[in-house]
Amino acid sequence: MTNLFSPTQLGDITLANRIVMAPMTRSRSPGGVPNALNAEYYAQRATAGLIITEGTAPAALGAGYPHIPALFDARHVAGWRAVADAVHAKGGRIVVQLMHTGRIAHEEVLGAAPVGASAIAAPGQIFTGTAMRDHSTPRALTGAQIEEVIAQYATAARLAREAGLDGVEIHGANGYLPNQFLAPNVNDRTDQWGGSIENRARFLLAATDAAVAAIGAGRVGVRLSPGNPFNDIADPDAPATYAHVMRELAKRNLAYLHVMNVQPGFDVPALVRTNYQGQVILNGGYDRARAEADLAAGIAAIAFGVPFIANPDLPARLASSLALAAPDKATFYGGDARGYTDYPAAA
């Protein structure tokens, strides 16, 4: 019987169970280079069927949050190799999430103005490492620059494999650059990258295709968040937008589609059932019972985020119905081992 503890195959990646660690920004890689503490953190969580790392910048201008890891030069590759080796030594699987933050950034963090689909600033503020500041107004990427950013996804995917990581996830969710192209309130372009649904979806699909060309479809996943307004995304026609994106992604035979199921009134499982035929991971506030119900309905795996922070051995705890430890929100972002690698496994 299929349950959270049965193995599955996502493209070229074999999972020992269907409990996935969701990507979570922890901001503990100063300078963008994954370090020994990061390797220890991920290795502690290697009993997940698959770890999806925190959002990792495929380019310098993609690192809008302080101290997030990156993947575009040799130092990053060396850092990620240590992480991949530590996870593999414990029998785990790990893909790196490629996150270009686009306009969700501040020039103090980037050292330059951010880029976006259009020159439309996100409302609200972002933490710069020292203070909360208004988001910087991005400059709209030119057509040639868009091609460069797409090529950066390909390079990052190639470097991920060079580092020994099992694959990549393109972060198309939560209001970062691919989602900025998708959303009509953030993208007012009149060229082939804006306007119609087909045009707004072009960047996400091109970035995905670039990664696929670099490392093969069986090692590429994509994350979407249909209907999620996070980072000021608004799309009055989101069901149609995401139906198109999912149908296009389905043609690509990817390792998986990872969809956040967090928006009240938005029937994500129905959207996926109708438009996507491959392996699907769902995420968003799941407990064991709800996870098993979705698996019974054909979902491949469930991603757990916050529960993995304070429960490094989450699969064992779910298997034994042990109580889950609660994380300290004060140590979610930045800092040291406290609230990061000091949560014990159950006795």
Candidates 38, 174, 283, 311; binder of ligand 8OZ (CB under 6 A) is 174
Nearer to ligand 8OZ by C-beta: 217 or 262?
262
Could you identify the residue written with the tokens 């609230």?
Answer: 339
Shortest spacing between CB 329 and ligand 8OZ, in angstroms: 11
Determine which one of 153, 176, 242, 276 is catalytic: 176
Q: What whole-number distance in Å separates Cα of residue 311 and Cα of residue 317?
A: 8
Nearer to ligand 8OZ by C-beta: 130 or 320?
130
Kindly state whether residue 178 participates in binding ligand 8OZ, applying the rule CB under 6 A: no
Shortest spacing between CB 295 and ligand 8OZ, in angstroms: 24
Could you identify the residue written with the tokens 């922890």?
Answer: 26
Nearer to ligand 8OZ by C-beta: 25 or 44?
25
CA-based torsion, 152, 148, 231, 127: positive or negative: positive
Number of Cβ within 10 Å of residue 140's Cβ equals: 18
Quick note: the x/- pattern for ligand 8OZ over 70-109, rule CB under 6 A, is -----------------------------x----------
Nearer to ligand 8OZ by C-beta: 55 or 184?
55
Kindly state whether residue 227 participates in binding ligand 8OZ, applying the rule CB under 6 A: no
Shortest spacing between CB 174 and ligand 8OZ, in angstroms: 4
Q: What whole-number distance in Å separates Cα of residue 247 and Cα of residue 19?
A: 25
157, 94 Cβ separation under 8 angstroms: no
Kindly state whether residue 34 participates in binding ligand 8OZ, applying the rule CB under 6 A: no
Task: Kindly state the DSSP code that residue 218 receives in the 8-state scheme.
Answer: G
Q: Cβ contacts of residue 67 below 8 Å, gap of 6+?
A: 27, 28, 29, 30, 31, 32, 129, 334
Decide if 276 is catalytic: no
Picking from 225, 224, 288, the residue whose alpha carbon sits closest to that of residue 19 is 288
Q: What whole-number distance in Å separates Cα of residue 95 and Cα of residue 54?
A: 10
Shortest spacing between CB 311 and ligand 8OZ, in angstroms: 19
Could you identify the residue written with the tokens 């990872």?
Answer: 258
Shortest spacing between CB 324 and ligand 8OZ, in angstroms: 21
Picking from 279, 282, 178, the residue whose alpha carbon sits closest to that of residue 231 is 178
Q: Cβ contacts of residue 22 below 8 Å, gap of 6+?
A: 52, 283, 303, 304, 305, 308
Kindly state whether residue 25 participates in binding ligand 8OZ, applying the rule CB under 6 A: yes
Shortest spacing between CB 231 and ligand 8OZ, in angstroms: 7
Nearer to ligand 8OZ by C-beta: 65 or 203?
65
Candidates 11, 32, 34, 55; binder of ligand 8OZ (CB under 6 A) is 55
Kindly state whether residue 228 participates in binding ligand 8OZ, applying the rule CB under 6 A: no
169, 95 Cβ separation under 8 angstroms: yes
Q: Which residues bind ligand 8OZ (CB under 6 A)?
A: 25, 55, 65, 99, 174
List, by residue number, the catalytic residues: 176
